Every structure is written in structure tokens, then in C-alpha cells.
């Protein structure tokens, strides 16, 4: 792996995350300063919190399924990239998304 490529990618990821954080903070501040009803502000902020939790659940289920897929690839002993290996990784991603969908439906 070329570590000279890793540094610029990490830099752009950090810049993107920083911009997202600033924009989210600015939006929260505008909501609070809009002097809307307290119920409206509370509902908007709680909705954002619930959306963040569901996003964490989504990515967690997808990453766990991908980890299981890569573990299965290691268990099989495949050390070359073949269409079957790619299909296994894509299938694990799909199963992770389906698991998220089922878990999210049970939570509602």
C-alpha cells in the first residue's frame, strides 16, 4: 500500500467532515435564533438526533456484514480478486442494508 496516497485522502476527509460540522452548527444556530415556538425547536433538534442514531445503526450494520464477508473470504483462503470474491463483498453489503431495514422497522 502506498502511504503517500493515504495522507491526502485523510486530509480531504478531515476537511469535508469539518465543513459538515460547521454547516450543521450554523443550521442549529439559525433554528434557535428563528424565535420559533419552543416545541418546534425541540422537535427539530430531536428529529436530528434520531436521524443521527439511525445513521449510526445503518453504517454499523453494513460494516458488521462487510466484516463477516471479509472474514468468510479469509476463511475460504482466497488471496486473489475474483468475481466470486467481489460478489461476496457486494452481497455482504446488501445483507447489511437489509439488516438495517429490518432493525429500523422494528424500532418504529
pLDDT at 1 over 70: no
- Round the average pLDDT of the chain to a whole number and report it: 85
Query: How much is the pTM?
Result: 0.62
What is the residue range of 91's domain?
A: 52-108
In a domain, 106, yes or no: yes
What own/partner pairs with CB < 8 Å and gap ≥ 24 does 73-81 have?
none
In a domain, 72, yes or no: yes
In a domain, 84, yes or no: yes
Query: Residues 13-48: pLDDT tens digits?
Result: 999 999 988 998 888 788 777 776 778 777 777 777
pLDDT band at 52 (very low <50, low <70, confident <90, very high): confident
CA of 63: how far to CAs of 42, 49, 69, 71, 94, in Å?
32, 21, 10, 12, 11
In a domain, 102, yes or no: yes
In a domain, 22, yes or no: no
Count of domains observed in the chain: 1
Amino acid at each position: 500500500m502506498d502511504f503517500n496516497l493515504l495522507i491526502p485522502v485523510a486530509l480531504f476527509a478531515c476537511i469535508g467532515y469539518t465543513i459538515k460540522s460547521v454547516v450543521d452548527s450554523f443550521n442549529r444556530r439559525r433554528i434557535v435564533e428563528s424565535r420559533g415556538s419552543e416545541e418546534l425547536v425541540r422537535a427539530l433538534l430531536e428529529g436530528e438526533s434520531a436521524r443521527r442514531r439511525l445513521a449510526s445503526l445503518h453504517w454499523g450494520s453494513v460494516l458488521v456484514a462487510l466484516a463477516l464477508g471479509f472474514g468468510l473470504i479469509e476463511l475460504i483462503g482466497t488471496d486473489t480478486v475474483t468475481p466470486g470474491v467481489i460478489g461476496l463483498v457486494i452481497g455482504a453489503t446488501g445483507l447489511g442494508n437489509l439488516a438495517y431495514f429490518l432493525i429500523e422497522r422494528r424500532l418504529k
